[in-house]
């Protein structure tokens, strides 16, 4: 590896495109090169730089679980230059992927514990990886609760998988939409994720909480978790920050002494509190 040019991406073919929500797509990607596919591995929490040649690179987590071999998945919302170009790609097209970068969710340390996953909107993709990872190793964990909300019913991503999670007896799924985002036949909760979390009131005893969402949601979720009795070392989140290289050299994602790309993106609440408010 040490004589390889770290800026060169793997070439990936888009095997499947799923429209998740308005402006949001999931790509299933396969390695063009068999040997690279064999040699590749990653852990839940890691991300990559996905690119269209000639347009640029964009940072998304790897949204599929490492327990499922042969492909990786990413989910993104069309927002800027690169995601707009990616949105125009079709099944069969070739895109670039550099990775895996970043640290990982310490799943091994969670064995024998209850897990509560809390996510909002487009922040479910970084969680989906670790959720499936844990569900694929279901016997390792006790109760699994998922609290997920979006602005409206249409904005919920992974709708098929939500149905699958809901149908499983070994998972408690609570979905919610913001007030005004419900449809007449909506059967889930109505309210913002932090308040729905408070209502769900999962026990903090022997439990790990994993949170991911827009800054405003995180801001109101942490106090709820603290109120419910969760301690700082038992709350985890995955951070987003502007990134370019993904491996701690370009300087863009530097916050305090850490690079979000290299020392993160997974941080415990305890670690997060030590960072200056610059993310």
Partner 1 sequence: MNELIKSAAALLESNAVQVVIGYGKGSASRTRAIFVTNVTDCEKLIFDSRCVQNLAVYLTKQEIKKLGKPAIVAPIPVLRSILQLAVENQITENDLVILGITPESELINFETFASIETFLATHRIAIDEKYQEIISKIKNMPVAERFAYWVKELEPCFKCYACRAACPLCYCTRCTVEDNQPQWISVAAHPLGNLEWHIMRAMHLAGRCTDCEACYNACPMAIPINLLTKSMLQDVAENFGSYGPSLDKENTLSSFKPDDKESFIR
Partner 2 sequence: MYAPKVKGKLTLFDEVNAFGEIAEDYIVTSNSAKEIVFPRAEKLFSYHKSKEKAEITDAANNTFPDVILWGTRPCDAAAFIPLTDIFNSDLKDIIFNKRKDKVLVLSFSCSRSDDYCFCTSVNSGPGNIAGSDVLFTKLTTGDFLAEVITEKGKSLVDENKDLFEVKSEESKESNLAVVASRFNQEEIQAKLKDLFENPVWDDKSRACLGCGSCSYVCPVCSCFDIQDEAHGNKGIRLRCWDSCGYGLFTLHTSGHNPRNTQGGRWRQRILHKFLYMPNKSKVAGCVGCGRCSRSCPADINILDTLTSL
Residue 152 carries which DSSP code? S
6 binds, among partner 1, partner 2, none (CB under 5 to 8 A by kind): partner 2
**Residue 69 in contact with partner 1, rule: CB under 8 A:** no
Q: Specify the 3-state DSSP secondary structure of 3.
A: coil
Bridge partner residues of 55 (DSSP): none
* Interacting partner of 84 out of partner 2, partner 1, none (Cβ under 5 to 8 A depending on kind): partner 1
Contact residue for partner 1 among 22, 70, 80, 223 (CB under 8 A)? 80
Which is nearest to 143 in space by CA: 169, 172, 114, 173?
114
Binds 133: which of partner 1, partner 2, none (CB < 5-8 Å by kind)? none
Examine residue 78 and tell whether it contacts partner 1 (CB under 8 A). no
Which of residues 23, 37, 71, 93 is near partner 2 by CB under 8 A? 93
Residue 52 phi, psi (nearest 5)? -110, 125
256 binds, among partner 1, partner 2, none (CB under 5 to 8 A by kind): partner 2
Please select the residue that binds partner 1; options are 81, 227, 249, 273, rule is CB under 8 A.
81
Name residues whose C-beta falls within 8 Å of residue 158's C-beta, 6 or more positions apart in sequence: 20, 26, 75, 124, 128
β-strand partners of 207 = 114
In the shown chain, the binding pattern of residues 44 to 63 toward partner 2, with x for contact by CB under 8 A and - for none, equals -------x-xxxxx------
Long-range CB contact pairs, 267-270, < 8 A, 24+: 267/236, 267/237, 267/238, 267/239, 268/232, 268/233, 268/234, 268/235, 268/236, 268/237, 269/222, 269/225, 269/232, 269/233, 269/235, 269/236, 269/237, 270/232, 270/233
Q: Does position 84 bind partner 1 by CB under 8 A?
A: yes
What is the closest distance, in whole angstroms, from the C-beta atom of residue 145 to partner 2 in the complex?
28
Interface residues with partner 1 (CB under 8 A)? 56, 80-81, 84
Interface residues with partner 2 (CB under 8 A)? 2-9, 11, 13, 51, 53-57, 79-80, 83, 92-94, 96, 214-215, 240-242, 244-245, 247-252, 254-258, 262, 276-279
């Amino acid at each position: 590896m040490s004589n390889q040019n770290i800026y060169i991406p793997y070439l990936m073919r888009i095997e499947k495109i799923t429209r998740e929500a308005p402006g949001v797509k999931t790509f299933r990607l396969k390695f063009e090169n068999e040997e690279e596919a064999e040699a590749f591995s990653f852990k839940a929490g890691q991300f990559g730089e996905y690119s269209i040649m000639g347009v640029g690179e964009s940072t998304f987590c790897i949204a599929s679980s490492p327990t499922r071999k042969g492909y990786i998945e990413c989910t993104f919302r069309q927002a800027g230059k690169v995601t707009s170009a990616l949105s125009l790609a079709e099944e069969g097209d070739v895109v670039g992927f550099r990775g895996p970068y970043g640290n990982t969710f310490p799943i091994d340390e969670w064995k024998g514990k209850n897990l509560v996953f809390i996510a909002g909107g487009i922040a479910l993709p970084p969680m989906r990886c670790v959720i499936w990872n844990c569900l694929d190793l279901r016997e390792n964990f006790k109760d699994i609760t998922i609290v997920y909300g979006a602005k409206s019913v249409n904005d919920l991503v992974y709708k098929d998988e939500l149905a699958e999670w809901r149908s499983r007896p070994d998972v408690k799924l609570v979905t919610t939409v913001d007030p005004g985002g419900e449809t007449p036949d909506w059967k889930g909760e109505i309210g913002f994720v932090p308040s729905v979390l408070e209502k769900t009131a999962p026990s903090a005893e022997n439990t790990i909480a994993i949170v991911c969402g827009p800054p405003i949601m995180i801001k109101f979720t942490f106090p709820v978790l603290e109120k419910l009795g969760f301690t700082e070392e038992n709350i985890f989140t995955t951070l987003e920050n502007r990134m370019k290289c993904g491996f701690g050299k370009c300087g863009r994602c530097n916050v305090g002494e850490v690079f979000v790309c290299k020392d993160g993106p997974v941080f415990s609440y305890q670690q997060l509190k030590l960072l200056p408010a610059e993310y």
